Amino acid sequence: IQSHWTPEPGDLCLDIGFGPGTWTMVALARGARTISFDPKPNACAMLMDLMLLNRFTRGWIVPAGVWSRTDVLAFGANGFREDNMKDRRPVVQLDEFFSSDPPRRFDYINMDAEWAEAEIVRGARIILERYHPKLIIEIHDELYAGEITEELGKFGRPHWKYDVMREGGFLIGTPKRLTI
């Protein structure tokens, strides 16, 4: 999978559900800029410590999950759960989050959001259609992979589309220009 995460200096990488921060740290070490989202306070603190320890200044940590709408949702140990009303966390919609000050580019988006990936794709329509970033999406179920692939198939036509392939527990989405 690392062969698909090859940011270069100046690239902008989104890391959604960054957990221990591995993808973010690789991108920063390669000279990219990062915006990393995770609703877990411990994950945010750990990534901040790693960034400070390595003196990386091109990273931004957003202490929120990502969803198809901006809201506050119930959160469980492994993702958002409607039955957990005690632990609620903020979530943002990517298109809305970047609407007032959009970057000039988005080069990569990594998602490991514990079954929220289809919702994230639904809330990133403008980003996906305008910028065509490369996607790496962790998935755990073949049916869920189909739902995400179907969502990505709604974007881009008639000029471009996402080619989606399965590699282990990941979907790799590569934007392709269509010849008309």
pLDDT in tens, 93-104: 999 999 999 999
Q: Using one digit for the tens of pLDDT, what is the confidence trace for 30-86?
A: 999 999 999 999 999 999 999 999 999 999 999 999 999 999 988 766 666 666 566
Q: Give the pLDDT confidence score for residue 56 in this predicted structure.
A: 97
Contact assessment for residue 95 and residue 60, using Cβ atoms and an 8 Å cutoff:
no
Q: Using one digit for the tens of pLDDT, what is the confidence trace for 1-26?
A: 678 899 999 999 999 999 999 999 99
pLDDT beyond 90 at 136: yes
CA angle 145, 150, 156 (to 5 degrees): 130
Give the whole-angstrom CA distance, residue 92 versus residue 108. Answer: 18
E-assigned strand segments in the chain: 12-16, 33-37, 59-62, 65-66, 71-76, 79-80, 88-92, 108-111, 134-138, 160-167, 170-177
Task: Map tokens 């609703």 to a residue.
Answer: 39
Edge-to-edge order in the sheet of strand 65-66: 65-66, 88-92, 71-76, 79-80
- R_g of the chain, CA atoms, integer Å: 16
